[in-house]
Amino acid sequence: MNAGTLAAQVRNGEPIREKDFSNMDMRGIDLRGGVFSECSFRGVQADAARLGESLFEKCRFDQAQLPSAELTRAAFHECSLQDAVLDAASMPHSVFSGCTLSGVRLEEAFMDQANFHRSELRNACLDRASLDKAVFSECDLTGASFNAVAFSSTIFFRATLTGTRYNGASFTNAIFSEADLAGQDFSGQQFHLCQFIDAVLAACRFRDARLTQCNFKGADLRNAVLAGAQAMQCLFPEADLRGVDARHGHFQQSIWVDAHLDGADFSQAQLEQGVFHRAHCGQTAFTGSRLDYADFSYASLVQADFRDAAFLRTVLHRADLDGTRFSTRLGTLDRDPALHEAEKVALQQPERASRLDRDVHGRRPKKESP
């Protein structure tokens, strides 16, 4: 079957099954809306091919040449595209499910709202690609390159991103939920309104990075470097930051509720209005830091070091201060008057259900028989 016959069959709505088109010249071919199953397109030359809204199931595109191809809303299920070239391809809303794309080239590809699910993209090249609202769910992207990509609302869910490269990249509203980014170097890069919820960021380097209003809830940041980072209004609740180097960082109005900060170094950091409720700060260094209006209520500060720190109405309400070191306690409040009064009122209140129509076990009371 030649390319002309294939295009005619697709125009007639005929499904194509178990055909071998390896190394065929398909430049400029129009296969839009085609349905292909278990076909081989290995090594085809398909520059500017039109494959939009086509369905490919268990097909092979290994080493295929598809630069500038049009794949809008194309769907690939359990296909192999190893070492395929799709530079400058237009593929918004395309779907790749259970596919192998190791070594694929997608430089300058237009991939807005593309969806990759349980696919392998090891060592893929996506330099300068457009990835607005693209989704990578449970994908292996080890060693992939995202140089000069402007991430905007891009989602990485349970994705493996170790060894990836982001030179010149920027991140706005990007989501890295439960993603593995361990050991990455983001020094000097910019993240705005990004989410790293439950992500693995152990030993990551954010030195001098800008992390405006980012969310690290439950993230693993053990031994990460945040030295000099601009991280105002960031959220770190329940995050593990043991051993973090945060010296000279800017963390004004940041939230650290229930965070693990044992052995972390916040020397000379700006922590004004930070909230450390119930935080674990054993042997944490706050030497020379600014803690104006910071709140350590119920925190564990065992052997923490606050020497030369600047306090102004810094709250230590019911904090564990066993072995804590201070140059001065001037400016600290051992008891938050409003919180203390609220505790007294709570102790005086009788126990009651959280909802008025439920008992203490959350059950509806039985109605009496008439």
The CATH number assigned to the domain holding 314 equals 2.160.20.80
Alpha helices in 156-257 (DSSP H): none
Examine residue 343 and state whether it is found in any structural domain, yes or no. yes
Examine residue 213 and state whether it is found in any structural domain, yes or no. yes
Closest to 98 in 3D by CA, of 38, 138, 65, 62: 138
Examine residue 82 and state whether it is found in any structural domain, yes or no. no
Examine residue 145 and state whether it is found in any structural domain, yes or no. no
Give pLDDT, residue 290: 97
- The residue range of the domain holding 276 is 181-347
User: Per-residue pLDDT averaged across 333-356, rounded?
Assistant: 63
User: Per-residue pLDDT averaged across 336-360, rounded?
Assistant: 60
Distance CA 25, CA 308 (A): 73
Examine residue 45 and state whether it is found in any structural domain, yes or no. no
Judged against a pLDDT cut of 80, whether residue 61 lies above it is answered with yes
Examine residue 220 and state whether it is found in any structural domain, yes or no. yes
Examine residue 14 and state whether it is found in any structural domain, yes or no. no
Side chain identity at residue 356, one-letter code: L
pLDDT digits 0-9 by tens, 130-146: 999 999 999 999 999 99
What whole-number percentage of the chain has pLDDT above 70?
91
Please write down the long-range contacts of 290-294, taking CB distance under 8 Å and 24 or more positions apart.
none
Per the structure, the count of domains in the chain is: 1
Query: pTM here?
Result: 0.87
Report residue 364's pLDDT band, with 50, 70 and 90 as the boundaries: low
DSSP string, 22-64: TT-B-TT-B-TT-EEES-B-TT-B-TT-B-TT-EEES-B-TT-
Give pLDDT, residue 362: 54
User: Per-residue pLDDT averaged across 6-34, rounded?
Assistant: 93
Report residue 2's pLDDT band, with 50, 70 and 90 as the boundaries: confident
Report the mean per-residue pLDDT for the chain: 93
Exposed/middle/buried for residue 105 (C-beta within 10 Å: 0-12, 13-18, 19+): buried
Judged against a pLDDT cut of 50, whether residue 369 lies above it is answered with no
Give pLDDT, residue 370: 45
Judged against a pLDDT cut of 50, whether residue 128 lies above it is answered with yes
Judged against a pLDDT cut of 90, whether residue 84 lies above it is answered with yes
CB 21 within 8 A of CB 39: yes
Examine residue 305 and state whether it is found in any structural domain, yes or no. yes
